[in-house]
Every structure is written in structure tokens, then in C-alpha cells.
């Protein structure tokens, strides 16, 4: 074929398929909320065209080379047709998944669909299969139709098309939509426009653009939570599902939550955490407790929202305040929040604490956690002198056990201890004892800090009406299961954390049932008098409920993965479309098992419930 004719064929092929793809993807637009202005109406539609336009630009490069250099017409038609038909079929499947669960196809869905016996988890039904087959056949036949038209009309020159010029103008149009979309999103993210940022997860493979680091270098204030206002239009998130109701209580408890960064489950003992261990003898201890995430952002998020960490991105996009903090704020609690690390990253100023930015103290003076953590008791004690007679809520976030492990020299209890980590030389064969001792020294130091906080509560006679929670945001691993640090796996060392729950007048007790950070918000709301069922605002349950004893699993999340954890195994799956191959079954010791073993360890009903939950709080 002549080059001019090849350009014409390719231009027609791409144009028609873009229209077909946009038609298949149009159900996503049904989830766009009613707009209050033209800008709110326009952005999701610009992003819609931009998203699939970017995909076609990338795929188009490969197809263009095929059309330009392959001599066989049959090879061109068959190869390009198979690629586009496969893409459109996957897109069609994704629209169905999104309608059902409000998330895009991921490794859990893919594995269930591809695994024999999947009908135990997802009952598809004969009519669904017939309809699905019919639409897939239409997608395939559309490619035959395109090539029939090309062969009969364009190749025979019955329809004259300037393909070279057409491709140039089409590329410019798509680039216009792509650049407009990215610039608008970056602007919306910079100044907290939720009617823009809420669409980061609506379209599959959508790539948002943020420019905060660049803006910060230019001196722009990237943290404008104080002046933040929600968009008047509805968002994509429906959280809570219904208005939360309370019974009026004569007295409300004070609440103190102390979170220690990277404090893992086996660090609560008389040797490493003597102060907390002593206090735990007066408390409820939950020995089988898991963080809602393997990183700070998801661990703290799960504590305050009671939701899976997979909701983090959407909650952040919509700047949605947690029910727990909203109700505490509206009950006129005195609120004090101290953190040794800035709460701009992770973005808790825009999530958990967006409703109380003036209550945050997260720029404590000092070099590292060894100089900042030690100030928490003094800051807390001074603050108690300033508050009124209303009950108080306090959250204190200590940072010493987070890498690179910070503590005063006088707390070097465990030796040998390495002060610096050369990550270039670090591997599974390294002698990790000095690093582990360094970590334990940091835990030992923060235990001392927590001990001082507890002494303040005791000296002020506040424990008679104060609920105290002491836990970790996540854990830390030192190659026990083949990984380092956190945010790399869902091993016990990374996500299993101590959980001490002091309740006035409650007798000390140990629990071995599966519990989770997702249970914290429902528990505290219940203590405040909440009578609304937990499932209306959380995936957790009250730690005081008998139902906890019957729990089969808990869920923990990371950046792009989540895990279903039972007492016998862990199922790790990707929550992102681009990583559908990430699907692992690991045994009690976190050793890899064959994927086809998942039905031996996980109930189909539980897996299906997790899938439903991942879309439950989306509209």
C-alpha cells in the first residue's frame, strides 16, 4: 500500500475506535454528581476525553508503526483489531465492575474471574453471561465492520481522506484535552477544589497531576486547610450512609489516643516497653490486633475513619472529615493534637483533622524525634491548664521508632546499636541486630515519653473519666519474613501492632480475637452515645461487642494493594488496574502459597463481602 493510503486507513481506524471506546466508557459519566456551575460540569467531561485520549496516543504509537511498516494487509488488520477489541472488552468488563463495586478491575477481581470455581464467590447468572457474550461479540464485530468499510470504501478511494493532516489535527485535539485536564487538576489540587480532585479515581488508569512540591519551592502556601470549603455539589463519596444519631449522656469521657510510629506487636513487654507494659495491667489488651495499613497514612486513616485504606485516595480528593472527629468537634470537646512529624505529609490536615486545623501542633521545635517526642508531656500538661470544663480529646503522635530511629544517647539500652543505615549494602544476609537494637532503643525512649503522659493523667486524677488508647500506626520488619521496614508487605511485623485500651472502671482483660484499627472509631462513637449501626459509617465494630469474637478476617491496605488477613493466611491483592498480576496467598508464617490454594484458606462469602465493601461508600 502507498504511504498516503496507509495514513488514511490508520486515521479512519483510530477515529472510529476512539468513538467506540468513548461510547463503551460512557457509563462512568453516570456517576458524575449534579453540577452547580459550568466549571463543575465541564471538568469531568474534559478528564473523560483526556483519559482515553492519552491511552490512544500511547497505543496509537505502536499501531502507527504497524500500519506504516508491515506490508501484509491481513497482519495489520488482524493484529490491530485484536489489540483494540481486547482493550474495549476489558474496558467493558471494568464498567460492569465499577457499577457493582465502585472500583476498577484489580487483581482480586481478575483472579476470581479466571479461577475455576469462582462462581462460589461471585454468582454471575445465565442471563448476565448471555448479555455479556452479546456485547463482547458486538465489540469484536465492530472491528470487522471497520475493516470492511476500509476495504470497500477507503482502499478503493471512494472516500478521500487526508490521513496525514487528519492524524496531526487529531493529535493536537487530544493533546489539548490532556494538557487542559492535567493543568486544571493540578490547580484544583493546589487550592483544594474538591469538585476537581474528586475525579482522580473515577476513570480507569487516570493519571492526576500535582505540582505542590514545585509550588512550595516557589514559596506558595500549599496547605490552606483553614480557609477550605467543600463544594456545594455532591461528591462521589457517600460517607456516612445516613445521619449518625446519639443518645444524650450526662457525662462524656475524655479521650486520649497515643500513636507510636512503627511500634510492632512484639515490642510490648517488660524489657522494651516497661512503662506501657505496667499500664497495660490496668487495661484491656488486644493481643491479635492489626493496623488498617502498612504505612502511616493508611494506619492512621483506618483509626479515624473505620474504613479500608483503599478509600484514602477518594477521601483525600474530597477532603471528607471523619465522622468521629466531626461529632467530637460538634460536641464541643476541647481538642488538642500534637505530632512530632508534620501532618501535611501524610495529608492528615486534609483528611482526619481537616475540621480542626487550628488545634494542630505539628511543627514542634527540635532536631528529630529525640528532641520533639520528649516535649509532648510538657505540651500536653500545659494545654490541660488552659482548657474549660468540657471533656477533652487528645491525639499524640510520637515518631522516634520510625527510621532513622531517634533517641537520646542515655536510652541506648540495647547493644550493639548502629546509628546509620547504609541501604546500598543492606540485604537479607546482613547482620540486622545492630539496626534492630537501634529500633528497640527508640521504642524504649518513646515508652518513657508515654510513661510521663500517663503520670500526668494520674497526677491530675483524670483516669477516672478518661479513655486511653496506646497503639502503633503500623509495624516494622527487619527481614524476618524477607522484607525491610514497612510499606513493603503485609507481614505480621509490618501490620500487627500492640493495642492497649484503658476504660475507667473496666477490669483488666486480654483478648485474642481478631481486631483492627477499623474498630477504634465505632468503639469511641459508642462510648459517646452513638446508636447508629456501625455498618452505616464503618467496616469495624465496637471492641466491646460480642460480635468481635466471631470475626473471620481483618483488612489492611497500602498504596496500591490490600490484604485480607485471617489467623491462618493472608491474601494480598492489588487495588489498581495496572497491577492485576499482584495476587498472593501467604501462610501463617507469610510464606508464599500457590494462588489456587486461596479457597482452602478463605471463605468465598468473605472475599465477596470485601469486594462489596470496597465500593460501599461510593454513590
Cis omega before residue 346 (within 30°)?
A: yes
Evaluate whether 41 touches 27 at the Cβ level (below 8 Å). no
User: pLDDT value at position 121?
Assistant: 44
Q: What are the pLDDT digits (tens) for 305-326?
A: 999 999 999 999 899 999 999 9
What is the mean pLDDT of the segment spanning 491-496? 98
Of the candidates 474, 413, 500, which has an alpha carbon nearest to the alpha carbon of residue 448? Answer: 413
3 state DSSP class of 236: coil
Residue 50 in contact with residue 181, Cβ under 8 Å?
yes
pLDDT given for residue 19 in this prediction: 97
For 268-278, what is each residue's pLDDT tens digit? 999 999 999 99
User: Which residue from 398, 388, 375, 297 is spatially nearest to 335, judged by alpha carbons?
Assistant: 388
In the chain, ranges of CATH 3.40.720.10 domains: 272-549
What is the predicted pLDDT for the residue at 453? Answer: 98
Confidence of residue 118 (pLDDT cuts 50, 70, 90): very low
Q: Which of 111-120, 171-180, 360-369, 452-461 has the lowest mean pLDDT?
A: 111-120
- Cis peptide, bond prior to residue 416, ω within 30 of zero: yes
Average pLDDT of the segment spanning 435-464: 97
pLDDT bucket at 122, cuts 50 / 70 / 90: very low
Percent composition of the chain: helix, strand, coil (DSSP 3-state, to 5): 50, 10, 40
- Distance of alpha carbon 198 from alpha carbon 549, whole angstroms: 37
Q: What is the predicted pLDDT for the residue at 575?
A: 87
Whether 224 has a pLDDT exceeding 70, the answer reads: no
Cell of 299: 494506619
Q: 200: pLDDT confidence band, cut at 50, 70 and 90? A: confident
Stretch (H or E) spanning 23:
helix 3-25
Residue 553 near residue 537, CB atoms below 8 Å: no
Q: How confident is the model at residue 123 (pLDDT cuts 50, 70, 90)?
A: very low
Cα torsion at 73, 74, 79, 85 (round to 10°)? 110
At 132, list the grid cell: 455479556
Say if CB 555 and CB 308 are below 8 A apart. Answer: yes
Q: What is the mean pLDDT of residues 351-370?
A: 96
- Say how far apart CA 236 and CA 616 lie, in whole Å: 11
What per-residue confidence (pLDDT) applies to 574?
87
**Percent share of the chain, pLDDT over 90:** 68
Query: DSSP alpha helices (H): ranges in 199-322?
Result: 212-217, 274-280, 296-305, 312-318
Average of per-residue pLDDT values in the chain: 90
Q: For the chain, give the percent of residues with pLDDT over 70.
A: 91
Q: Please give the model's pTM, rounded to 2 decimal places.
A: 0.82
Q: What is the pLDDT of residue 232?
A: 52
Nine-digit cell string for 125: 447468572
Predicted pLDDT at 283:
98
Of 141, 5, 13, 16, residue with least CA distance to 77: 13
Which residue did the predictor score with more confidence, 116 or 438? 438
The domain 272-549 is classified under which CATH number: 2.30.40.10, 3.40.50.620, 3.40.720.10, 3.90.280.10?
3.40.720.10
Q: Report the C-alpha gap between 563 and 570 in whole angstroms.
A: 6
- Predicted pLDDT of residue 218: 73
C-alpha cell at 285: 489488651
Average pLDDT of the segment spanning 74-101? 90
- Region 447-457: what's the mean pLDDT? 98
Q: What is the DSSP string of 480-524?
A: SSS-EESSS---HHHHB--EEEE-TTPPPEEE-S-EEGGGHHHHH
CA distance 403 to 419: 10
CA–CA separation, 280 vs 508, rounded Å? 8
The answer, yes or no, to whether residue 458 has pLDDT greater than 90, is yes
- Residue 242 — pLDDT band, cuts 50, 70, 90? very high
Judge whether residue 71 has pLDDT over 90.
no
pLDDT tens, residue by residue, 373-396? 999 999 999 999 999 999 999 999
Binning pLDDT at 50, 70 and 90, where does residue 151 land? confident
Amino acid at each position: 500500500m502507498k504511504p498516503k493510503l496507509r495514513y488514511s486507513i490508520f486515521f479512519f481506524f483510530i477515529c472510529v475506535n476512539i468513538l467506540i471506546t468513548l461510547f463503551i466508557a460512557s457509563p462512568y459519566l453516570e456517576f458524575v454528581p449534579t453540577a452547580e456551575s459550568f466549571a463543575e460540569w465541564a471538568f469531568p467531561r474534559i478528564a473523560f476525553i483526556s483519559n482515553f485520549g492519552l491511552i490512544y496516543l500511547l497505543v496509537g504509537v505502536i499501531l502507527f508503526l504497524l500500519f506504516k511498516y508491515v506490508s501484509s494487509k491481513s497482519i495489520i488488520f488482524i493484529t490491530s483489531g485484536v489489540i483494540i477489541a481486547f482493550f474495549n472488552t476489558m474496558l467493558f468488563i471494568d464498567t460492569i465492575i465499577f457499577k457493582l463495586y465502585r472500583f476498577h478491575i484489580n487483581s482480586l477481581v481478575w483472579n476470581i474471574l479466571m479461577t475455576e470455581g469462582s462462581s462460589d464467590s461471585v454468582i454471575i447468572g445465565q442471563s448476565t453471561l448471555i448479555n455479556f457474550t452479546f456485547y463482547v461479540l458486538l465489540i469484536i464485530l465492530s472491528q470487522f465492520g471497520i475493516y470492511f468499510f476500509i476495504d470497500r470504501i477507503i482502499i478503493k478511494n471512494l472516500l478521500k481522506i487526508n490521513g496525514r493532516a487528519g492524524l496531526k489535527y487529531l493529535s493536537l485535539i487530544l493533546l489539548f484535552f490532556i494538557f487542559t485536564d492535567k493543568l486544571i487538576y493540578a490547580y484544583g489540587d493546589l487550592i483544594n477544589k474538591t469538585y476537581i480532585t474528586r475525579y482522580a479515581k473515577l476513570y480507569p488508569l487516570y493519571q492526576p497531576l500535582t505540582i505542590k512540591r514545585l509550588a512550595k519551592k516557589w514559596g506558595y502556601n500549599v496547605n490552606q486547610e483553614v480557609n477550605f470549603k467543600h463544594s456545594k455539589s455532591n461528591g462521589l463519596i457517600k460517607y456516612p450512609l445516613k445521619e449518625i444519631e446519639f443518645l444524650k449522656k450526662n457525662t462524656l469521657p475524655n479521650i486520649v489516643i497515643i500513636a507510636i510510629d512503627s511500634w510492632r506487636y512484639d515490642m510490648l513487654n517488660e524489657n522494651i516497653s516497661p512503662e506501657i507494659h505496667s499500664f497495660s495491667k490496668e487495661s484491656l489488651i488486644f493481643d491479635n490486633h492489626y493496623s488498617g495499613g502498612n504505612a502511616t497514612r493508611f494506619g492512621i486513616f483506618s483509626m479515624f475513619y473505620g474504613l479500608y485504606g483503599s478509600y484514602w485516595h477518594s477521601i483525600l480528593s474530597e477532603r471528607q472529615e471523619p465522622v468521629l472527629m466531626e461529632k467530637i468537634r460538634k460536641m464541643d470537646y476541647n481538642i488538642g493534637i500534637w505530632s512530632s512529624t508534620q501532618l501535611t505529609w501524610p495529608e492528615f490536615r486534609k483528611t482526619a483533622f481537616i475540621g480542626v486545623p487550628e488545634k494542630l501542633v505539628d511543627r514542634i521545635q527540635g532536631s528529630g524525634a529525640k528532641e520533639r517526642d520528649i516535649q509532648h508531656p510538657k505540651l500536653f500538661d500545659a494545654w490541660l491548664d488552659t482548657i474549660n470544663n468540657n471533656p477533652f480529646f487528645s491525639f499524640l503522635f510520637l515518631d522516634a521508632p520510625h527510621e532513622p530511629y531517634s533517641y537520646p544517647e542515655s536510652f541506648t539500652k540495647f547493644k550493639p546499636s548502629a546509628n546509620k543505615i547504609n541501604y546500598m549494602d543492606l540485604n537479607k544476609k546482613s547482620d540486622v541486630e545492630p539496626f534492630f537494637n537501634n529500633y528497640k532503643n527508640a521504642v524504649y525512649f518513646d515508652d518513657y515519653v508515654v510513661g510521663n503522659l500517663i503520670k500526668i493523667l494520674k497526677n491530675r486524677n483524670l483516669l477516672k473519666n478518661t479513655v486511653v488508647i496506646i497503639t502503633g500506626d503500623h509495624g516494622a520488619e527487619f527481614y524476618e519474613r524477607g522484607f525491610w521496614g514497612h510499606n513493603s508487605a503485609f507481614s505480621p511485623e509490618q501490620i500487627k501492632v500492640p493495642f492497649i485500651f484503658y476504660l475507667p472502671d473496666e477490669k483488666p482483660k486480654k483478648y485474642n480475637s481478631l481486631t483492627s484499627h477499623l474498630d477504634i472509631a465505632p468503639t469511641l462513637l459508642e462510648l459517646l452515645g452513638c446508636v447508629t449501626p456501625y455498618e452505616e459509617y464503618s467496616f469495624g465494630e465496637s471492641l466491646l461487642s460480642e460480635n468481635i469474637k466471631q470475626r473471620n478476617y481483618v483488612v489492611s491496605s497500602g498504596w496500591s494493594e490490600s490484604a485480607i488477613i485471617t489467623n491462618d493466611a493472608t491474601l494480598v491483592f492489588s487495588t489498581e488496574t495496572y497491577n492485576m498480576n499482584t495476587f498472593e496467598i501467604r501462610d501463617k508464617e507469610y510464606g508464599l502459597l500457590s494462588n489456587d490454594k486461596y479457597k482452602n484458606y478463605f471463605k468465598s462469602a468473605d472475599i465477596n463481602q470485601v469486594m462489596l465493601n470496597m465500593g460501599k461508600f461510593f454513590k
